Amino acid sequence: FNPELIGYSVLTGPDITQAIIQSKEFKTLYPKARIVWGNVHPSCTPGQTMAEDFIDYIVVGAGETPILQLIDYLERGNPTPDQIAGLVYRDNGQIKINERACELKNLDELPDPAWHLIDVPKYWQVSLNTSRGCPFRCTFCYNSAFHSGYRGDFSAERIISQVQHLQKTYGVKFIRFFEDNFTFNRKRLHRFCELVLEKKIKLKWDCEARADLSEKDVDLMAKAGCVSVGIGVETGSKRLLEFLKKDINQDEMLKSFWNLVRHHILPRIYIMEAVPTETLEDFKATKDLLHTMGDTPYFYMRFVPYPGTPIYYYCIEQGLIKEPSTLADWPHFSFNMATRGNLSQVPTEVVTEAFAEYARTYGLRRVRFMWRYNKGFFLSLVKNPPQFFGAVKELIKNTLPVMFNKNSSSPEIKVEDIRTKKLAETQTGAKS
């Protein structure tokens, strides 16, 4: 193991700590190796991130082309760093930030994921990303900074090709479309569902969507095997929806919600708590909306002002937050916001109790809601043990952390093990 290039995909949050620790360790173990960071956080804070001397390069935005060009430069000296769109680098100690690379509109140009590198049968579900970006203007969403209105899609035919490959090769029966808005391109959505039906593909799937689904959309989705859809409701307050620039109203959200319920598709409702300017009246409006939705199960998310978003700069201007001065400050900032931050006008004790209520009642709400509106769901779980155990695992994963106020994070890579192995290799070489 003697890497020449080590890459990190970095999101804003506690995981930055591990990325920093590992990057420093690898830089010590392999001084000649180049460290490159990419994904949302370094793309939104390239100057501050590149100020760390253990990072050699940053790829801003989509990385397929820039990373290949960077490898060509490291191996052959061409193209030079200043010619690589989307690259952040140093020139005589000065940080240089190139213009971003053009985003792909037609994602069919990309190769399929390297599924052979993963033990696919080990998992009861597989995740697919079939689109990028979102054209809407929600002020809290990373897309406004990371993608800037860009949207790119795989075609429906390409999605079907990937699904058939996963089923034929690995026996996959459940797919989670993991992008931000699977249903945005209605023509693609309808074509995908029609192909599933035409080819008689037996598949269960879920996705994330905007709360503007029509009866036709939902009917096709249900027939094509959709069992659950995540919807970012955020708030029941008309004023707050306008402040967040959701560009949607309660009537549209309720119509989409009940369309899903009638077709036995479980809605996953996302609510944001402690949003800037939120008042007790706004808070109560959200509670009322959830009641109107049949006391549906929901996910209660503490608001975090992510870097580069319009609401992040609003919070700084209003003195609600202080901008982290170094890369190492970001994990603490995000963790504190996600667990204890209250930038709203709602009393902290009310916010705390609301979160505690969510933790106590999520599991019961979900079971009760499904029993009331979709009893067949329980029969389908009995007929499909992997899905049953997967559902139980998901229920536990979504309930226990909030009950005990714990945050999940990615597993740590044991750099110590690599150091020990390298030391052993060095000693062996010395003896020989």
Are residues 164 and 29 part of one domain? no
Are residues 330 and 215 part of one domain? yes
- Sorted by sequence, the CB contacts under 8 Å of residue 353 that are 6+ apart come out as none
Token pair listed for 210: 């905007």
What pLDDT score does 20 carry? 97
What pLDDT score does 379 carry? 67
CATH of the domain at 39: 3.40.50
Are residues 37 and 127 part of one domain? no
Contact (Cβ atoms closer than 8 angstroms) between residue 428 and residue 420: no
Residue in 91, 101, 15, 7 with CA at minimum distance from that of residue 55: 7
SS3 content of the chain, % helix, strand, coil (to 5): 50, 15, 35
Residue with tokens 């792909």: 104
Alpha carbon distances (Å) from 117 to 65, 114, 120: 21, 6, 9
* pTM (2 d.p.): 0.84
- Sorted by sequence, the CB contacts under 8 Å of residue 324 that are 6+ apart come out as 330, 332, 333
Q: Tell me the one-letter amino acid at 91.
A: D
Are residues 171 and 95 part of one domain? no
Q: Could you tell me the pLDDT band of residue 410, with boundaries at 50, 70 and 90?
A: very low
Are residues 116 and 89 part of one domain? no
Burial class (CB in 10 A: 0-12, 13-18, 19+), 393: exposed
Domain holding 182, by residue range, is 107-403
pLDDT tens, residue by residue, 231-282: 999 999 999 999 999 999 999 999 999 999 999 999 999 999 999 999 999 9
pLDDT tens, residue by residue, 151-206: 899 999 999 999 999 999 999 999 999 999 999 999 999 999 999 999 999 999 99
Are residues 415 and 345 part of one domain? no
How many domains does the chain divide into? 2
Are residues 182 and 85 part of one domain? no
Query: Is the pLDDT reported for residue 384 higher than 70?
Result: no
What pLDDT score does 224 carry? 98
Alpha carbon distances (Å) from 299 to 160, 230, 296: 30, 10, 10
Bin 274: left if φ > 0, else alpha if -120 < ψ < 50, else beta: left
Contact (Cβ atoms closer than 8 angstroms) between residue 339 and residue 405: yes
Find the helix or strand (DSSP H, E) in which 233 lies: strand 226-234
Token pair listed for 194: 């029609």
Bin 335: left if φ > 0, else alpha if -120 < ψ < 50, else beta: alpha
Token pair listed for 422: 């390298």
- Sorted by sequence, the CB contacts under 8 Å of residue 394 that are 6+ apart come out as none
Residues comprising the chain, all counted: 432
Q: Tell me the one-letter amino acid at 382.
A: V
Query: Is the pLDDT reported for residue 317 higher than 90?
Result: yes
What pLDDT score does 322 carry? 92
Are residues 115 and 88 part of one domain? no
CATH of the domain at 274: 3.80.30.20
Are residues 99 and 112 part of one domain? no
DSSP state of 127: E
Express as a percent the part of the chain with pLDDT over 70: 87
What pLDDT score does 375 carry? 73
Q: Does residue 79 have a cis bond before it (omega within 30 degrees)?
A: yes
pLDDT tens, residue by residue, 268-293: 999 999 999 999 999 999 999 999 99
Are residues 111 and 96 part of one domain? no
Are residues 310 and 167 part of one domain? yes
d(CA 253, CA 259): 10
Are residues 383 and 242 part of one domain? yes
Query: Is the pLDDT reported for residue 115 higher than 90?
Result: yes
> φ and ψ at 208, to 5 degrees?
-105, 145
Query: Is the pLDDT reported for residue 427 higher than 70?
Result: no
- Residue 224, classed as helix, strand or coil, is coil
Residue in 259, 237, 258 with CA at minimum distance from that of residue 248: 237
Token pair listed for 101: 């690379």
Token pair listed for 393: 């695992």
